[in-house]
Structure 1
Amino acid sequence: MPEVIFNGPAGRIEGRYHHNESSTSPVAIILHPHPQFGGTMNNPIVHALYYMFQKRGFSVLRFNFRGVGRSQGIYDNGAGELSDAAAALDWAQSLNRDARSCWIAGFSFGSWISMQLLMRRPEIAGFISVAPMANHYDFSFLAPCPASGLFVNGDKDSVTPPEHVTSLVSRLKTQKGIVIEHQTIAGANHFFEDKAEDLMTVVEDYLDRRLAEEEAA
């Protein structure tokens, strides 16, 4: 899990990167929760997502948004953080030019940024959106959602009550062949305290199924 520093639009960005030696290994990037509320790339859920992708043969990157840890710059209300995410994906792709696919995963605030990046980067083939803050941020840009993926949240989430996520998913328009799945974790709050294992079981099952479908195709 080597530390990496790469250039972003506001200066240096700090990350952790695992490189898979296979030239065609898929790429994944993981986006952390809100920088102004303690969100970092070392968040336990971000950490678990990172290792999930690593164990499945991905080259995977997690990083700190601007102004977090050793990343330069200051919080920019989402616009700058989206630029950071794009720079992170560019950096990972530069090391994996023959990657057979690209995935993105985001938690909370990171989910909102990840879905915006998904709309801008057609090479992203799949997403995992954990605890999307559907009552705090506008997700209407997902019209239509360009890739299949999973939304997952807790039914005891007081930050974003579950009905807001259900409404978001129900409103999504999809193109032919795009499938959006939604899972709710019983007893889980926004941070999945004491429910991280349940969350990861759902997410891992989904990713394994998608990878098996990709292999079969």
Structure 2
Amino acid sequence: MAKLILFLGLVALTCSLAIAFEPSPLQDFCVADTGSSARVNGLVCKDPKLAQADDFFFSGLHVTGNTSNPVGSKVTPVTAAQIAGLNTLGISIVRLDYAPWGINPPHTHPRATEILTVLEGSLHVGFVTSNPDNRLITKVLQKGDVFVFPVGLVHFQRNVGYGNAVAIAALSSQNPGVITIANAVFGSNPPIAAEVLTKAFQVDKSVVDWVRSKF
């Protein structure tokens, strides 16, 4: 009986893992038909006979991102929104540029694991494990180093060098999504009730209002 329960538990776990990620494609490719008004979990395919090389092409990752903003970083995404041929293939890529001491603020990708490679500079990176431990796992990366951020976990990068830094990251979804923690909490529309935030952060309402004003 115990072996049967263990077996059923493993089956359930396997099934739950299987449905947690994007399904495998059932054809060679599914170029997104951006003109379709149909709503599906992904993008509708256009006739594969109409596919062209440009459907699988993007040019621009050689261009330095503009980091003249409050956080000092710029993310240049290449998802299914930029390459229609990525639709259903379960992968995307981004270029990240950092000004000296610039950051990619704490955020999550609800649908993707991220693997980051440093091309130039030095980055202090890290992610936080889920409740209840909330353990910070962190490391300083140099040119050529690679680091993985597990799906859904809060993570960040910070340029700790005196020059610009550049990284390339691959993500395990055609549309990984991004939730920037500060923006989501203090810049939601409509705003989260101040009473919720004062209790959550254990601060006075004036502090919440001041932080909110930045977003």
Q: With the length of structure 2 as denominator, give the TM-score of the two structures.
A: 0.28
Q: Which has the higher helix share?
A: 1
Larger radius of gyration: 2
Q: With the length of structure 1 as denominator, give the TM-score of the two structures.
A: 0.28
